[in-house]
Structure 1
Amino acid sequence: MAAPILNPACPGSFALPYGVRSGLQIAFNGLVKHKNKDFVINLLSGGNIALHMSFRWEKDKIVAINAKIDNAWGNEIRHSNPLHHDQAFDLQVRVYPGHFHITTNGVLLGDFPHRLPFESIGAISLEGNVHINNIQFSQFH
């Protein structure tokens, strides 16, 4: 299992040397910063984005989930944004054979079908106004 990534820089990209496989949980522990600022967490597959999670406050208080393949965005799936400014959060992404299962603070945010083979994911990127304390990797059953 990969070692945790501690206090990753934002913006920044981080390689996943062991890749992604079914049964992997990626857990992000962080703090939402200042009001009216968005942040993004991506799982990257080469030049593509296999999973794009955009936490938004500026226009609508939503989480937009999508994928970008060959420079084209797919259909965006929107959920109500459960996070609050100046609040700590735990975000878990579980990899199942057919989809990602995403929870925030133990509550289901949503499932997102794989649009690219999850085995092709090789990095994580962070953007925007968020502080991530750590990114941890574990197996779930």
Structure 2
Amino acid sequence: MNENKLKHLEFIQGVINRMGQNSFLLKGWTVTLVAGLFVFANTKDTDYRFISIAFIPTIFFWLLDGYFLWQEKLFRKLYDHVRTKGEDESIDFSMNVKPFEHEVSLWISICFSNTLRLFYLPIIAIIIITMVFACIY
């Protein structure tokens, strides 16, 4: 395999790895912040509005996580493109993923993919249930 092609694939794989790591960190921060807000709200005079603040980081991190997943999918398309280049084609080390945007779902639809919904919707449900209990008691 061409040394330049191999190096370009390594660069792309590095970006893909960072996107996955960012997604993992966002999920950890989401759980940490929501749990922290619940701890602060756990007083005798808990107001449901204080608990509702947990919606803000949850929604924000959900959208940001969707963006990282979208970028990861674009870079996977770039990886496949470079991987299938012939030995006689030149390697330009381009990291431009714009030509592949039509091959990947829209960013907002990726936000509602199964992998993200199965993580963030239960957190939102827990926030809502906690708000209801805070209103009742």
Between Structure 1 and Structure 2, the one with more strand by share is 1
Q: TM-score, normalised by structure 1?
A: 0.20
Q: TM-score, normalised by structure 2?
A: 0.21
Between Structure 1 and Structure 2, the one with more helix by share is 2
Tell which structure's C-alpha radius of gyration is larger: 2
